[in-house]
Amino acid sequence: MKDASFIQSLFSIFLLFSDTASVAADPNLLQDLCVADLNSTLRVNGFACKPTATVSEADFSYAGLATAGDTNSTVVGSKASAATVEKIPGLNTLGISMARVDYAPGGVNPPHTHSRATGIAFVLEGTLEVGFITTANKLISKTISAGEVFVFPRGLVHFQRNTGTTPAAALAAFNSQLPGTQSLALTLFTASPAVPEDVLEKAFQIGSNEVDKIKDRLHPK
Amino acid sequence: MKDASFIQSLFSIFLLFSDTASVAADPNLLQDLCVADLNSTLRVNGFACKPTATVSEADFSYAGLATAGDTNSTVVGSKASAATVEKIPGLNTLGISMARVDYAPGGVNPPHTHSRATGIAFVLEGTLEVGFITTANKLISKTISAGEVFVFPRGLVHFQRNTGTTPAAALAAFNSQLPGTQSLALTLFTASPAVPEDVLEKAFQIGSNEVDKIKDRLHPK
Amino acid sequence: MKDASFIQSLFSIFLLFSDTASVAADPNLLQDLCVADLNSTLRVNGFACKPTATVSEADFSYAGLATAGDTNSTVVGSKASAATVEKIPGLNTLGISMARVDYAPGGVNPPHTHSRATGIAFVLEGTLEVGFITTANKLISKTISAGEVFVFPRGLVHFQRNTGTTPAAALAAFNSQLPGTQSLALTLFTASPAVPEDVLEKAFQIGSNEVDKIKDRLHPK
Amino acid sequence: MKDASFIQSLFSIFLLFSDTASVAADPNLLQDLCVADLNSTLRVNGFACKPTATVSEADFSYAGLATAGDTNSTVVGSKASAATVEKIPGLNTLGISMARVDYAPGGVNPPHTHSRATGIAFVLEGTLEVGFITTANKLISKTISAGEVFVFPRGLVHFQRNTGTTPAAALAAFNSQLPGTQSLALTLFTASPAVPEDVLEKAFQIGSNEVDKIKDRLHPK
Amino acid sequence: MKDASFIQSLFSIFLLFSDTASVAADPNLLQDLCVADLNSTLRVNGFACKPTATVSEADFSYAGLATAGDTNSTVVGSKASAATVEKIPGLNTLGISMARVDYAPGGVNPPHTHSRATGIAFVLEGTLEVGFITTANKLISKTISAGEVFVFPRGLVHFQRNTGTTPAAALAAFNSQLPGTQSLALTLFTASPAVPEDVLEKAFQIGSNEVDKIKDRLHPK
Amino acid sequence: MKDASFIQSLFSIFLLFSDTASVAADPNLLQDLCVADLNSTLRVNGFACKPTATVSEADFSYAGLATAGDTNSTVVGSKASAATVEKIPGLNTLGISMARVDYAPGGVNPPHTHSRATGIAFVLEGTLEVGFITTANKLISKTISAGEVFVFPRGLVHFQRNTGTTPAAALAAFNSQLPGTQSLALTLFTASPAVPEDVLEKAFQIGSNEVDKIKDRLHPK
């Protein structure tokens, strides 16, 4: 009874930063600007630079975070939009990027990691319960409102959810040009090829029926 | 005819990030968390860490950016508020921080540098003309509105001004826990002890009367 | 009917690298040696250094990886032993560490991340199916035997399992003095305080009964 | 009555490191040598490497600092010569470079920043007043003579002037292959396109006549 | 009476990591994977990346360390095999690599440095005397057996020798994708062109006859 | 017949940078200044910082390179003087340092490595043959005169010798606050405790008599 488009939108959150890695301490720049040549077929660590003559102010700006994402389009009730080097080519070699997340009432940005970046989120509107878990398995969480910020240390599992009755939105910054995101339920249960069932059964101490049920619900039809 | 409190507020912008450094690629962390012990008398690169037992969610959040700064309090018509490791001790070793700048109509955040960080600004409200100058002396600038972002590469001189008829505000992120700021007119004309007059005269190709006039206007009485 | 000691041993794997972070590019050293003073009450990024006069060869060696871990003691059939800066104080500032993992036949090292390090594993004996998942949700996996190596890129979810009928063992190296580990099922379902149930229900698209069942099985009694 | 060639020479100082940035902590090398292929059309962070077979000792040496610059050619009475990766291709990926500055009696190297490097200067001959200003607006300065060294921390505004009655010269080293230089008066008053007049008026608290006068004097005719 | 093939094999140890550099703190990655395109004619710091579509699990594994090297083939009685980015293209940008060294009874891995990496060695079998010398000229050494590990800090001269009566083997990990090796006797006495004799005579306080004798013995005929 | 004081002076060159490490890419600074508190008993990576109130211009300058070292005092005919963080406390966290080397006619700065830094040398007077050896065992060398510069890549073995008939001097810069030096003949033949004779015999393919002779000549009596 799950709607495929719902599931697909769950994926759209997950894939936001895909084919990317994460940040935290990107290598330093070696010149003022090395604006990403996103069309180059050459691949290096990061991106090759556009010819200087073609660089303009458009390479350093982005309007894609101005409007709220459609939180009705996802099963988890949240929708993220990234502003990484893939959208702002001027970010190449500069070690920073942004994202916007919108949340329906009750909406959740499910537990995920950014392998290459610490994140810091500023609440644009609404009220969010936010938290991260340390490697000592301690949850550090707080409920924050519009104008408040919260920090998610590099690589640690974290989440947010809208505990209010109105929509919420947050602006996040990352100290990487491409922070990388692994939404953990999707990573574990929808990877392709699939993670061996036995690995999931042992990890969660569940049976194959339960593994299949989760896979079934999370996989886009 | 300059009001001393006006001048003082110009200083308050300048001193925001003072006694700090700049960002871009802070050293990597060596453990999950090293929450700054801001009261420690020990000084290291960054800050020593608080005992783990005293760490709480309060170390990772901050409410000080929630309200607009008083732009009437400054001669330049802008007011900045920082959220660096000095306000959010949990940022220590994590390589990121934030700031909020409010602008009266016509208000200017005067040309400055962050010696240790690239900045990226998101317009919360209003319309801003923003720009940076490369070491090849090329100005890259743009007018952006609410929801748009713009990038200021590490170490380069940059500025913003409110070109609208209503107040404006921006949220900036930096890839350093303490980005460092040098507001250039103040750095050059109000340092203590003073930069030698002859240096300023030769640099700007002006006479001592003109140097003194600028100093007089910028120095808090 | 789960034996508490079994569950506890699952925890012991998870906690191996706890209170640590992950690696990949630790900051560079500023002197030949800065041997960790593990007894110091001072906490900095990494560890303060012992007095030079007390440094000896014992600070650079470790015998704790010589014998196999007891794989019967865990529900997942694997047992890890770490050789990080916490065991080898000479590793402080040097950006590298090791671990040994033993696997019963069918044993699994469940999906986990190292937030601060890339890992590379060498099979000491037996046959292992090993794999990692990219942020584009692609599984890259292989079955390797004694003497073969496999790479797990920094921050990405990965696992191993013994597909043979005899015990297996692997030696892993990490490019951090303290790589940090989050065993994901345990992180999500056994953190303290608990991750909100609603977050887990939405993430895995399961009901509260199923969440409770997993928590029950994973939590040490 | 300003001579255009004089002004032009002021520019020549300013442009010395142009189209470059500065370093401080360039990324580490990944092989012994990656000699810059200065003729390559490919642009990456830094430079692509020449084929190994074409590398010679000439790539690691430079004679351009051997003779004094013509300090009569500039309005400020100083002349700088850079030995960055653009002159010594072997410096690529190695994180260091040099420059020589000559000063007529009374000559000034006007206030400037290196966005990517700390500098350290050794006085070859003569006597120099040298200084830098911290972000807390404190001037740290000293008069040094032949054989003495002084440090200019990364990103901070600094200057030198010849306080003697004979020519002076200094050799500077930077911890970047391309340190980047912004000579601040020129950056602010001669950028192209121009920094908005209103921004300069507010920053220096001067009128448009004064802004125009400075621009007029600093702009090459 | 020296057999040329013996000498050649001494060289084979020395050249193992040649045309490489060393590690310790390779620059951070900017995406999940940048698998080295070892066939590309383009040279950058490290390697350019293969197209994503051609990446497979084979890029992350290596079987070349599974079997012992032929220690009879060298005059020093040891034989090293490297598993760097040149063998495992997936290591590109990941900052780690491995090597295996086999030792005949009495065999020695002669004094050498890794310019870009700290090493950590795990004894696979046998007994080794291992040591490094600090810049204060202090030898830190120890005899270790199967299962024990020892650390060799970045850049410092170090060695191993088999003090047992049976073959020995060690697995080493480095925190660089290409650690670089300079086997010092060979570097000094067999470089091409030759290091000036006078330099060697003064360094070792020996005569030209003695220099020539060492050169003669170390140079492959 | 060797004079002990001669030998001792050979040592003085070798120990110049001792108890130090090497350079290349020191971690970035996290504030404007962290002037080394050289008297602190606390040891961290680098040095703890002095209280800000005690910082002065003296912390950033040094006069110790102004005069030539006594080249008669050494058997190799060269004498080095370092200006590292141990002499200029303001260099702490800034990633740069300097040294001066004086050479008698025919004097040699014997083959050595800097484990943590690339070096770049500027000839102050005289003529020097300078060179480094790559890990592919290729010597890259050149004869340079006053005013010329040459680069020595991080970690690689290098040397200089005065090929002229008059004294020579060079000023070197390093991209580390404490570059670390291992003068190789001394490291191998005079370490304490001694490197096992068997290791040296096998490395240089010489007998124990020859090892003892070199040790005898290099060891201070």
- Model confidence pLDDT, tens digit, residues B76-117: 999 999 999 999 999 999 999 999 999 999 999 999 999 999
Q: Chain A: nearest CA to E100, how far in angstroms?
A: 28
Residue F26: list chain C partners with CB under 8 A.
28, 30
Q: What are the φ and ψ backbone dihedral angles of E47, each rounded to 5 degrees?
A: -130, 155
Structure-token pair, residue A86? 């893939």
Report how far residue D216's alpha carbon sits from residue A106's, in angstroms, rounded to the nearest whole number.
Answer: 61
* Average pLDDT value for residue range D16-34: 60
More confident residue, A18 or A142: A142
pLDDT band at B4; cut points 50, 70, 90: very low
Residues in E closer than 8 angstroms to C96, CB to CB, are 118-120, 151, 173-175
Provide the angle, in degrees to the nearest 10, between the axes of the packed helices E197-204 and F208-218: 80
Q: Say if residue F128's pLDDT is above 90.
A: yes
What pLDDT score was predicted for residue F73? 86
* Residue pairs between chains E and F whose CB atoms are closer than 8 Å: 205
Comparison of pLDDT for A23 and E13, the residue scoring more: E13
Contact A203 C110 (CB under 8 A): yes
Residues A142-199: tens digit of each pLDDT: 999 999 999 999 999 999 999 999 999 999 999 999 999 999 999 999 999 999 999 9
Local structure of A146: helix, strand or coil:
coil
Q: Report pLDDT digits (tens) over E20-52.
A: 222 235 888 999 999 999 999 899 999 999 999
Q: What is the pLDDT of residue F22?
A: 26
Q: What is chain B's mean pLDDT, rounded? A: 90
Say which DSSP state F63 is in. -
F114 is in an annotated binding site: yes
Q: Which residues pair with B101 in a beta bridge?
A: B80, B170
- What type of residue is C103? Y
Predicted confidence (pLDDT) at residue A115 exceeds the cutoff of 60 = yes
SS3 per-residue string spanning F112-164 = EECCCCCEEEEEEECEEEEEEECCCCEEEEEEEECCCEEEECCCCCEEEEECC
At residue E2, the pLDDT reads 43
> What is the structure's pLDDT at E220?
66
| Beta-carbon separation of F147 and D173 below 8 A | no
**Residues E114-133: tens digit of each pLDDT:** 999 999 999 999 999 999 99
What percent of chain F shows pLDDT beyond 70?
88
**pLDDT above 90 (res B23):** no
Tell me the longest C-alpha to C-alpha distance in chain F. 60
Over the stretch F154-184, which tens digit does the pLDDT of each residue have? 999 999 999 999 999 999 999 999 999 999 9
Q: Is the pLDDT of residue E4 over 70?
A: no
Known binding positions of A: 109, 112, 114, 158
Amino acid at C129: E
Q: Which of C194, C195, C210 sits opposite A210 (nearest CB)?
A: C210
Q: What 3-state class would DSSP assign to F62?
A: strand
Question: Quick one: fold of D4-181?
Answer: Jelly Rolls (2.60.120)
CA-nearest residue of chain A to C154? A115
Average pLDDT over residues B161-167: 98
Of C179, C155, C29, which Cα lies nearest the Cα of B32? C179
pLDDT classification of D11: cutoffs 50, 70, 90: very low
| Pick from A58, A60, A30: nearest CA to A46 | A30
pLDDT band at E14 (very low <50, low <70, confident <90, very high): very low
Q: How many Cβ atoms from other residues are within 10 Å of residue B2's Cβ?
A: 15
Interface ipTM: 0.89
Q: Please state the CATH superfamily assignment of the domain spanning residues F4-183 in this structure.
A: Jelly Rolls (2.60.120.10)
Lowest-confidence segment of C24-38, D9-23, F36-50 by average pLDDT: D9-23
Q: Which chain E residues are within 8 Å of A116, Cβ to Cβ?
A: 28-30
Q: What is the pLDDT of residues F87-104, one digit of tens each?
A: 999 999 999 999 999 999
pLDDT band at residue A1, thresholds of 50, 70 and 90?
very low
CA distance E38 to E85: 9
State the sign of the Cα–Cα–Cα–Cα dihedral E159, E162, E167, E171.
negative
Q: How confident is the model at residue B25 (pLDDT cuts 50, 70, 90)?
A: low
Written as six digits, the tokens of B24 are 């871009």
Q: CA A212 to CA A107: how far, in whole Å?
A: 25
Q: Which of A121-130, D7-16, F199-208 has the lowest mean pLDDT?
A: D7-16
The alpha-helical segments, DSSP class H, found in chain A are: 4-14, 184-190, 197-204, 208-218
Residue D170's φ and ψ, nearest 5 degrees, are: -135, 150
Q: Taking the CB of residue A210, how many other CB atoms lie within 10 A of it? A: 18
- Dihedrals φ, ψ of A26, to 5°? -55, 150
Backbone angles phi, psi at B63, to 5 degrees: -105, 0
Q: Give me the mean pLDDT over the B39-46 stretch.
A: 92
Q: Chain C residues with CB-CB distance to F under 8 A?
A: 27-34, 37, 42, 44-46, 48-52, 92-93
**Per-chain mean pLDDT for chain C:** 90
Find where tokens 């020549």 sit: D12
Identify the H or E element spanning E210: helix E208-218
Q: What is the distance between the alpha carbons of residues D65 and F105, in angstroms, rounded to a whole number?
A: 24
> Tens of pLDDT along D42-56?
999 999 999 999 999
Identify whether the C-beta of residue A7 lies closer than 8 Å to the C-beta of residue A76: no
**pLDDT given at position C221:** 53
A94 closest CB neighbour out of B62, B118, B144: B118
Residues of chain D with CATH 2.60.120.10: 4-181
Return the biggest CA–CA distance within chain E: 60
What is the CATH superfamily name and number for domain C4-190?
Jelly Rolls (2.60.120.10)
Q: Is C142 left (phi over 0), alpha (psi -120 to 50) or beta?
A: beta
Rounded to an integer, the average pLDDT of A56-78 is 96
The amino acid at residue A102 is: D
Beta bridge partners of E120: E151, E173
Contact A195 C111 (CB under 8 A): yes
Q: Give C137's Cβ-side CA count (13 Å radius).
A: 22
Enter the tokens of residue F57. 């211009």
Residue of B31, B46, B50 lying closest to C21 (CB–CB): B31
Distance CA A178, CA A153 (A): 16
Q: What is the pLDDT of residue E221?
A: 53
Chains A and D form CB pairs within 8 A to the count of: 54
Q: Name which of F28, F91, F122 is nearest D98 (Cβ-Cβ).
A: F122
Question: How confident is residue D221, by pLDDT bands cut at 50, 70 and 90?
Answer: low
Q: Which of E191, D106, C10, B17 is nearest to F132 (CA)?
A: E191
One-letter identity of residue B36: A
Helix ranges (H only) for B80-196 are 184-190
State whether F213 and E206 contact (CB < 8 Å): yes
What pLDDT is attached to residue B40?
92
Chain B residues within 8 angstroms (CB to CB) of chain C: 27-32, 34, 37, 42, 44-46, 48-52, 92-93
Average pLDDT, chain A: 90
Minimum CA–CA partner of B190 in chain D: D137
In this predicted model, what pLDDT tens digit does every residue of D148-207 receive, in sequence order?
999 999 999 999 999 999 999 999 999 999 999 999 999 999 999 999 999 999 999 999
pLDDT band at D28; cut points 50, 70, 90? confident
Substitution target in F18, F38, F42, F45 with the highest count of C β-carbons within 10 Å is: F45
Among E26, F31, E31, smallest CA distance to C26 is for E26
Cα–Cα nearest to C80, from C55, C57, C109, C60: C109
Query: Could you give the CA distance from residue E143 to residue E153 in angstroms, rounded to a whole number?
Result: 17
Mutate to test the interface with C, among F44, F91, F92 (most CBs of C within 10 A): F44
> B61-62 and A139-145 as β-strands: parallel, antiparallel, unpaired?
unpaired
Instruction: Tell if the CB–CB gap between C48 and F25 is shorter than 8 Å.
Output: no
* C132 contacts A182 by C-beta, under 8 angstroms: no
Is E39 exposed, middle or buried, given 0-12, 13-18 or 19+ CB atoms closer than 10 A? exposed
User: What pLDDT is stored for residue D20 in this prediction?
Assistant: 27
Residue F124 β-bridge partners = none
Q: Which chains touch E (3 or more CB pairs under 8 A)?
A: A, C, D, F
Residue E116 CA, chain-centre distance (Å), reads 11
On whether the CB atoms of residues D24 and D118 are closer than 8 A, the answer is yes
Burial of residue B146 (number of CB atoms within 10 Å: 0-12, 13-18, 19+):
middle
Substitution target from C43, C91, C92, C177 for chain B, most B beta carbons within 10 A: C43
Question: What pLDDT does residue D154 have?
Answer: 95
What's the residue count for chain C? 221
Cα separation, E103 vs E162, in Å, equals 6
For the cut 80, the answer to whether the pLDDT of residue D72 exceeds it is yes
Which parts of chain C sit beneath pLDDT 50? 1-24
Express each pLDDT in D119-158 by its tens digit: 999 999 999 999 999 999 999 999 999 999 999 999 999 9
Please indicate whether, in this complex, the C-beta atoms of E115 and F134 are within 8 angstroms of each other. Answer: no
Mark out chain E residues that contact chain D at CB-CB < 8 A: 19-21, 23-27, 42-46, 115-116, 176-178, 180
Q: Give F141's contacts in chain D (Cβ within 8 Å).
A: 57
Burial letters for D65-90: b for 16+ Cβ neighbours within 10 Å, e otherwise? bbebbebeebbbbbbbbbbbbbbbbb
DSSP chain D: ---HHHHHHHHHHHHTTTT----SSPPPPSSS---B-TT-S--BSB-PBPPGGG--GGGGEE-TTSS---GGGSTTSEEEEEESTTT-GGGTTT--EEEEEEE-TT-EEEEEE-TT--EEEEEEESEEEEEEE-TT-BEEEEEEETT-EEEE-TT--EEEEE-SSS-EEEEEEESSSS---EEHHHHHHH-BSPPPHHHHHHHHT--HHHHHHHHHHHS--
